[in-house]
Amino acid sequence: MKKVLRWIDQRFPLTSFIKHELTEYPTPRNLSYWWNFGSLAGIVLMIQIVSGIFLAMHYKADATLAFDSVEHIMRNVNYGWLIRYLHSTGATAFFVVIYIHMLRTLYYGSYRSPREIMWWTGQGLLVLLMATAFMGYLLPWGQMSYWGAQVITSLFGAMPFFGDELVTWLRGDFIVGDATLTRFFALHYLLPFIIVAAVFIHLVALHSVKSSNPSGINLADKDNIPFHPYFTVKDLFGLCIFLVIFSYFVFYKPNLFIMAENYVPANPMQTPAHIVPEWYFLPFYAILRSVPDLLGGVIAMGLSVMIFAAMPFLDRSKIPGGSRYRPFHRFMFYAFVIDIMVLAYVGAAAPEGFVIPLGQIATFFYFASFAILPFASKIEEKWLIKRGLPAEVEAMMQSEEAQKADRRQRKQDRRKTKRKDQ
């Protein structure tokens, strides 16, 4: 084995790459289990890709055969039921892991300088994941799949000037039909591999600026330890817990995340009484329905996803650690999580009675949370500094100010040098 590795190292820096980026990668020693969800997301992505490849071997992307091909996989293909349930439950698990990973980043302020690009690449991954999930939801060709695609694609018709053309381009036809199914299948198969490439970009951004930690303070080298074996074991322990929970749903509750209507073949002549997207889209669907104007609702729904990219600029506090040392920020975080749950309930409920004003109030609070953050963060910062901060937090803030002053001085020196050369 050593000879093989030596032969490879002479032609490709495999060993040095593994040491630098994996085993000996310096990691803050105080990372909690909340940091496990990044690696868990990678594991779930692999589960989805492998199970999806096996499903694609038996699936027929044809409007007359798609539903029956799924039933064929479930009933006739060896362990086809297991592959299908791994994939359908894995979609839910993927969003659970990603949302927790995202909430951890928001709570601890890991989106702040110098990790803005890492945060933005993560946002790009979320958009790709949503697009992949939406296209995959059509493939079973059940009632809810068909009408969900019908409703969502028709929303693009609200765009001025070229809305109708855009809807036709997305569907490949004037209605959701065979052309829509074919292109959605092709894109659903392709996008996971694009996500893998985006994950590598995300990891490069992470390793360039190093991992954040619960304190929000850039730890000295003496406080960092190699990733292996400590965090390898920690990740494996988290993976074991995840697999136990995941296996329970796969083997005992697989239909919990599959709507009953999707076991009925798609019928363009019969609209379901209540069209509901998958649970991970419910908050955004509630925001769409809460705006009376269709175009305004589409814009609000898109903005509700993309607005997170502005977090590095909206959170103007210089106090590190996110919510750890900031009580008002912590209150806003928990209130925001509760608001998302309310929106999910509104999205799942029929739009009638008290649900309509409840959705409008929750939507207003959703966007108000971002609007007041720049002002609240500065007011809270002044109050906390006046009250007094822990010594290590004050030291970190002073260090950051010194680094900014040093960068400004270097810029001035470079300008002076250029003037002399001219």
pLDDT, position 148: 92
What's the token pair of residue 128?
């790709």
369 labelled catalytic = no
pLDDT of residue 291 exceeding 70: yes
Active-site residue, selected from the candidate residues 261, 278, 339, 380: 278
Active-site residue, selected from the candidate residues 211, 212, 317, 377: 211
Confidence label for 30 from pLDDT (cuts 50, 70 and 90) = confident
pLDDT, position 219: 67
- Over residues 25-34, the mean pLDDT reads 88
pLDDT of residue 134 exceeding 70: yes
207 labelled catalytic = yes
Active-site residue, selected from the candidate residues 235, 261, 315, 381: 235
Q: Evaluate whether the domain defined by 16-275 bears CATH number 1.10.40.50.
A: no
278 labelled catalytic = yes
The share of the chain scoring above pLDDT 90, in percent, equals: 65
Q: Give the C-alpha distances (Å, rounded to integers) separating 158 from 76, 150, 165, 297.
A: 43, 14, 11, 9
Active-site residue, selected from the candidate residues 101, 234, 315, 329: 234
421 labelled catalytic = no
pLDDT of residue 102 exceeding 70: yes
pLDDT, position 405: 75
pLDDT of residue 222 exceeding 70: no
pLDDT, position 74: 95
Q: Are 38 and 101 in contact (CB under 8 A)?
A: yes
Active-site residue, selected from the candidate residues 207, 228, 318, 378: 207
Confidence label for 422 from pLDDT (cuts 50, 70 and 90) = low
pLDDT, position 403: 66
- Over the stretch 230-251, which tens digit does the pLDDT of each residue have? 899 999 999 999 999 999 999 9
pTM exceeds 0.85 for this model: yes
211 labelled catalytic = yes
- Over the stretch 367-386, which tens digit does the pLDDT of each residue have? 999 999 999 999 998 998 88
Residue in 111, 134, 103 with CA at minimum distance from that of residue 311: 111
pLDDT, position 233: 93
pLDDT of residue 402 exceeding 80: no
Q: Where are the domains of the chain?
A: 16-275, 286-389
pLDDT of residue 149 exceeding 90: yes
The share of the chain scoring above pLDDT 70, in percent, equals: 98
- Over the stretch 35-55, which tens digit does the pLDDT of each residue have? 999 999 999 999 999 999 999
